[in-house]
Amino acid sequence: MTLTFISVLPSLLNTNGDAENAVVLARRARWAGLDASVVAVEELSDLPERVDAVIVGSGSDSTLSIARTALLPFHDHFRRWGTEGVPILAVGTGWELLSWGIELASGGAIEGLGILPGRAVPGAGERRIGDLVVRSPRFGRLVGFENHARDYVQAEASPLGRVQAGIGNGRGSSQEGVVMGSVFGTHLHGPVLAKNPAFADAVLAEAAQRAGLAYAPGAAALTIDAHAAAAREAQLRAAGLAPDAGP
């Protein structure tokens, strides 16, 4: 069996390379001896018969309306995937488009697909740009980079984790992201799964289990993870935080 990871609208939603989280999943799966493929999905006709995980990257505000229109035909599929436990990772504006909606600084609004609770609202003050470190109860410490002008509200009961450095969802919540079952929304760019192997492996393990397969990181992954750990340590030190504890 081949695990199939799809990236939705990568032509519009890959500003920070976040669509490449699908590539991270496929590569780690192959390192574990599993067959895996990545499918770029720009329209419904591109959808493969089987979908094992879904990635929605981030785009620019100039294409928000275009991206929303292009995502709308996928609404029922997102609903079904979420209900069936297919892992979905949405980053930045891709996450906002899966929310209840986006309130714009201009006074207008864009209706979201309603897959995740909460909505994006104009941030108070300067754009949030810089290192973001989050403590997640499910995935441990997560690191990445945030670059967003909006805050995220009305999802305080289901965050991805608590902010240790950076802004995250903002409004003084000290929270980052949102989780609903196996659907994750986050401001973490990186791509987040490349910087956080434990998060990637958790998503992979869930996808593999749904497919009746077993997943354990391969030898190549362990080598790459050592480089990721060094990069994480440098970012944590720059943020004034203690490095991750060793094994």
* pTM tops 0.75, yes or no: yes
How wide is the angle at C-alpha 131 spanned by C-alphas 128 and 134, nearest 5°? 100
Q: Closest by alpha carbon to 3, among 87, 124, 79?
A: 87
Residue 244: predicted pLDDT: 81
Shortest CA distance to 239 belongs to which of 144, 121, 118?
144
Domains and CATH numbers, the chain: 2-238 (3.40.50.880)
Angle between helices 21-31 and 219-238 (to 10 degrees): 140
State the pLDDT at residue 243: 86
Q: What is the pLDDT of residue 246?
A: 54
The reported pLDDT for the residue numbered 45 is: 97
Model pLDDT, residue 247:
44
Strands (E), 9-100: 35-41, 53-56, 88-91
Q: What is the pLDDT of residue 125?
A: 81
pLDDT confidence of residue 106: 87
- Judged on CB neighbours under 10 Å (0-12, 13-18, 19+), 81 is buried
Q: Is the dihedral angle over the CA atoms 232, 237, 242, 245 positive or is it negative?
A: positive
> Using CA atoms, how far apart are residues 166 and 104, in angstroms rounded to an integer?
22
- Would you say the C-alpha torsion 147, 151, 156, 158 has a positive or negative sign? negative
Distance, CA of 101 to CA of 112 (rounded, Å): 4
Can you give the pLDDT at residue 124?
A: 82
In 92-189, where do the E strands start and end? 101-103, 109-111, 119-122, 128-136, 140-148, 150-153, 161-165, 175-176, 178-180, 183-186
Retrieve residue 215's tokens: 């997943």
Instruction: Characterise 154 by phi-psi region: left (phi > 0), alpha (psi -120 to 50), beta (else).
Output: left
Cα–Cα distances (Å) from 193 to 94, 175, 201, in that order, read 16, 19, 9
The angle formed by the CA atoms of residues 68, 74 and 77, to the nearest 5 degrees, is 145
End-to-end CA, the chain: 33
Residue ranges of the chain with pLDDT lower than 50? 247
